[in-house]
Amino acid sequence: MATTRDRQLEDRELVEQWRSIQSSYFRTAGAIDRALEAKFDIGLNEFEILDLVADSEESSCRMKSLGERTPMTQSAVSKVVDRLEKAGLVSRQTCAEDRRSLFLELTEAGRAIHANAAVEHRALLKENLG
Amino acid sequence: MATTRDRQLEDRELVEQWRSIQSSYFRTAGAIDRALEAKFDIGLNEFEILDLVADSEESSCRMKSLGERTPMTQSAVSKVVDRLEKAGLVSRQTCAEDRRSLFLELTEAGRAIHANAAVEHRALLKENLG
DNA sequence: TGTCATTGAATGACGTGTCATATAGATTGA
DNA sequence: TCAATCTATATGACACGTCATTCAATGACA
């Protein structure tokens, strides 16, 4: 039978586990964010969108499907794409079959940045998670 | 010898692992945040500070040491404490030995909210991590 | 003791995320 | 075919976190 003491112990362990997830998440996200910001002038979320676009080359009307592969909100995605577009890394293409939708395409510059940033990204993941 | 293909595979796995951490972090943090917001009108960060203050009862000049036990910035902590103080859950006490420092103390209301919120918090951790 | 560096905390400007809403295009069914 | 409804994206108001800075108190050391 579970005593009060058992429950307190279990709680402590849960909280410990949570703190450790939190700190590992923040450490990793922070490291990547700072590095990308410094070297390529884009943040982590910008990179994640670039990365998604890069590896879903030429398929469905994107904005929508992007939202499904990221914890970001639809409006967050929209704004990240705004910035990427302003930075000339991505372009929105209208979609013939459904004119509400938009395709995303990497520009040359976008492809170049992504290629370099991805190396950095993977390296930092390895360093922080591996 | 590691081939290009090996490296690509390793990268994919790293990225998968990262996405899974991310989504688990966001799912858990989001669930807790929404629940605390709805039931007690405080956010996750507010709760975490309450929780830290609650379990470091009566010790060193706090603001400082709090910052060390959380991934939050010093200024973030300061602002969270602002809100907690405005909500009447916590009070800042001046510290005699070092007049730059501040103690934090839970008010009665703070203690009450914390007790209930902690139950919710642990339950949601269990549900999301367990 | 008087200067200089350091430390604990608060603050303002700013960027970015969220929620609620707006808008335009698509779909359904009478 | 026309309303009603739904769906994809954009946008504005707002909340909150960060960085840089400020301010007061402290410490160090000549």
The CATH number given to whatever domain includes residue A37 is: 1.10.10.10
pLDDT over 90 (residue A61): no
SS3 content of chain B, % helix, strand, coil (to 5): 70, 10, 20
13-42 of A, contacting B, C-beta below 8 A: 14-15, 17-18, 21-28
Mean pLDDT of B96-123: 95
B11, B26, B126 member nearest A14 (Cβ)? B126
pLDDT over 90 (residue A130): no
Burial of B19 (0-12, 13-18, 19+ CB in 10 A): middle
Among A30, A4, A19, residue whose Cα is nearest residue B51 = A19
A23, A122, A126 member nearest B71 (Cβ)? A23
Cβ atoms of B89 and B110 within 8 Å: the answer is yes
The spacing between the Cα labelled CA in B104 and the C1' in D25, in angstroms, equals 19
pLDDT over 80 (residue B57): no
The length of chain B in residues reads 130
Chain B residues near residue A18 by CB distance under 8 angstroms: 28, 125, 129
Which residues neighbour A82 within 8 Å (Cβ) at sequence distance 6 or greater?
none
| pLDDT given at position B107 | 96
- Give chain B's mean pLDDT: 92
Among B77, B103, B99, B75, residue whose Cα is nearest residue B91 = B103
Query: What is the domain count for chain A?
Result: 1
Instruction: Kindly report, residue by residue over A22-58, the tens digit of the pLDDT.
Output: 988 999 999 999 999 999 999 999 999 999 999 886 6
| pLDDT given at position A60 | 63
| pLDDT given at position A10 | 85
B78 vs B80: CA distance, rounded Å? 6
Asked if B11 is an interface residue toward chain A (Cβ–Cβ < 8 A), one would say yes
Percent of chain B with pLDDT over 70: 96
If one compares B73 and A23, the residue with the highest pLDDT of the two is B73
Quote the DSSP letter at residue B2: -
- Give chain A's mean pLDDT: 92
Q: If you measure CA to CA, which chain B residue comes closest to A12? A: B122
pLDDT over 80 (residue B10): yes
Which range marks the domain in which residue B9 is found?
A: 4-129
End-to-end CA distance of chain A: 39
B18, B25, B51 member nearest A21 (Cβ)? B25
Q: If you measure CA to CA, which chain B residue comes closest to A17? A: B129
Asked if A109 is an interface residue toward chain B (Cβ–Cβ < 8 A), one would say no
The spacing between the Cα labelled CA in A60 and the C1' in D22, in angstroms, equals 52
| pLDDT given at position A1 | 74
Among B115, B117, B128, B85, residue whose Cα is nearest residue B103 = B85
